[in-house]
Structure formats: C-alpha cells, structure tokens
Amino acid sequence: MHGKSIAEHVKCVEAFVKDFGSERIALVTSGGTQAPLEKNTVRFIDNFSMGTRGATSTEYLLAAGYTVIFMHRESSLLPFSRHFPSLFTMLHVEDGKAVSSDAKLVDNIQKSIHYRNRILFVPFVTLDQYLHLLEGICTVLEPLHERVLVYLAAAVSDFYIKHDDLPTHKMKTEEVSLPLSVVPKNLQRLVEDIVPRSFVVSFKLETDESILVEKARKALSSYGHQLVVANMLHTRKEHVVLVDNEKEMHIRLTDKNKEIEEDIIDNIKERHSDHMANAGTAQ
C-alpha cells in the first residue's frame, strides 16, 4: 500500500475532496482482494480480477464529468495505462530520451495528464485493507450526500481466515488446515448508516446464468441500495444486466469497437441525475 496506513489514505481522501469542484464524485473499487492464509503471509486466497471493469469505467466517468476516487488493488490495471500492457516495447531512444509516436499512446498520456487533478488513486492489497478503506472513504464522502456515486466493481473475497485462526508461520504441509469463515456482508451497514443518501451500485458475478438475476435481486433487497450490475464471468465484456427495484435492463455490446462500460456509465449517470434531482440537489 505504498507504505501509507489506512488512516493516512483516508486523510488524503479528505484533502482531495475538500476543494472538489465538480458536481459529482464517484468512488470506484477495482480489482481483487487478497485473504492471507498465514500471519507471516506466504500464501493467500486471491481471484481472477485484473481490474479491467473498474479502470475502464473510471475513464468513462472522468469523461462524463465525475471526479473519481479510484480505490484499486495494488498492481491491478489503471485508467489510461491499462491499454498498454507492454509499454516498454513501444518505446525507442532518441537523443537520450524514451519516445514513441504511437497515436493511441500519445492520446492516452494526454488524457491521463488532462484528468490528473480529478482522480485520486488509493491502493489496497488485502481484504482487511479493502473493508477498512471502503468504510473510511465512505465516511469522508457522506457530507457530499446525493452527489456521491459508489461503484463497487472490485471482486471481493467471500471467504477468509479470521486473524485468531491464522497460523503465525508458513503452514506446514503435514498440518494443512483452512478454517475458512464467510466474509461478513458490510454493504447493508454502508448503505443504511454511512452513505444513506448516495447512489450505490454493486456488482454481482455468477457463473450459472440461471441464478444471476435472482441473486442480484436478493442483493438489492438485502442491502437496500439503488442498483446491481449483474454479470457472468465469461461474457462480462459483452453483456450485463442492470437490476433495480422495478425492472431489469440488458446491455449488450453490438459494436466490437466499443467497450461495454461506455453504455454502463451512460445509463448510470442518468440514474444518478434522477437520484440527485429527486433529492433536490442542484445540477
């Protein structure tokens, strides 16, 4: 976490939002969480997420006028640089400088410079850091009421080993034991007690399509938030279902030159506008 404590990261968020000038602010969570299997961690539970959804959505949120707090798994994909996994091979040396004339690279560097005062990067690694940061940042954002969009795209572990059950040292092969506990769902408390006025979007990931919408509805009724974006592991880049209290809406990518996040953010921005208008927030 770049050596900063949770409290220090939350202080940075406080300073960042103090002078925030735009009308809307989004907290985007992105990437997977790590749950340690030993106190001196050699092994851990992790998941597949590289943070594509969060990083891509952030680019469209910035373009749509949002200020963004990008709470991401350290070393996961970042907005703008995500397009260039092998940057090193795109550069050559001229007069002692690394240069490139790749138009897409130039365009993305310019965008990243253009938006740099409107995005704050907050890294996490473990599940514990994720949960504490989320709560701390939401507490800081609460006074901004309806202007806040909470966009929970991170892939959060469902299982972990409680601190008291963790072995101190590297687990011995002859003593293998994984006393897993289910991660307490903190979303209801977040929605009810910490950011009750903000527009909260959670994501639901499944691999069995027959239960996808039902699970999304269950999340919506348990947590009392505004929207669930439901997606399937293998089709998540082409198809999502937006589930709210009244209906469900499918978004399908038809143009292969586009990214599905563009349509997701368009739609969510509209819903967020309605949410702000209903509360009488000036836009």
CA distances 215 to 190, 202, 206, 207, 209, Å, are 19, 12, 9, 12, 10
* Contact call for residue 225 and ligand 9Z3 (CB under 6 A): no
Residues with Cβ within 8 Å of 15's Cβ and at least 6 positions away in sequence, in order, are none
* Contact call for residue 79 and ligand 9Z3 (CB under 6 A): no
Binding piece for ligand 9Z3, criterion CB under 6 A, among 65-73, 89-97, 115-123, 150-158: 150-158
CA distances 166 to 14, 132, 237, 268, Å, are 34, 19, 37, 41
Q: Computed from CA positions of residues 241, 239, 27, 23, in that sequence, does the dihedral angle turn out positive or negative?
A: negative
Which residue, among 50, 114, 115, 44, has the nearest Cα to 78 in the 3D structure?
50
- In the chain, the N- to C-terminal Cα span, in Å, equals 36
Residues with Cβ within 8 Å of 7's Cβ and at least 6 positions away in sequence, in order, are 136
> By rule CB under 6 A, what string of x and - marks binding of each residue 9-48 to ligand 9Z3?
----------------------------------------
Binding piece for ligand 9Z3, criterion CB under 6 A, among 49-57, 121-129, 163-171, 256-264: 49-57
Residue 205 Cβ vs ligand 9Z3, minimum distance, rounded to whole Å? 4
Residue 97 Cβ vs ligand 9Z3, minimum distance, rounded to whole Å? 34
How far is residue 85's CA from residue 9's CA, in Å, rounded to a whole number? 27
* Contact call for residue 205 and ligand 9Z3 (CB under 6 A): yes
Contact 124, 147 (CB under 8 A): no
* Contact call for residue 239 and ligand 9Z3 (CB under 6 A): no
Residue 84 Cβ vs ligand 9Z3, minimum distance, rounded to whole Å? 17
Give the nearer residue to ligand 9Z3 in terms of CB position, either 134 or 141: 134
Residue 52 Cβ vs ligand 9Z3, minimum distance, rounded to whole Å? 3
* Contact call for residue 82 and ligand 9Z3 (CB under 6 A): no
Residues in contact with ligand 9Z3, counted by CB under 6 A, come to a total of 15
* Contact call for residue 226 and ligand 9Z3 (CB under 6 A): no
How far is residue 207's CA from residue 260's CA, in Å, rounded to a whole number? 19
- For residue 166, the Cα-to-chain-centroid distance in whole angstroms is 27
- Chain positions 158 to 197 lying near ligand 9Z3, rule: CB under 6 A, are none
- Residues pairing with 19 in the sheet: none
How far is residue 117's CA from residue 33's CA, in Å, rounded to a whole number? 27
* Contact call for residue 152 and ligand 9Z3 (CB under 6 A): yes
Binding piece for ligand 9Z3, criterion CB under 6 A, among 20-28, 99-107, 113-121, 153-161: 153-161
Residue 237 Cβ vs ligand 9Z3, minimum distance, rounded to whole Å? 8
Binding site for ligand 9Z3 (CB under 6 A): 49-53, 152-153, 155-156, 202-205, 231, 236
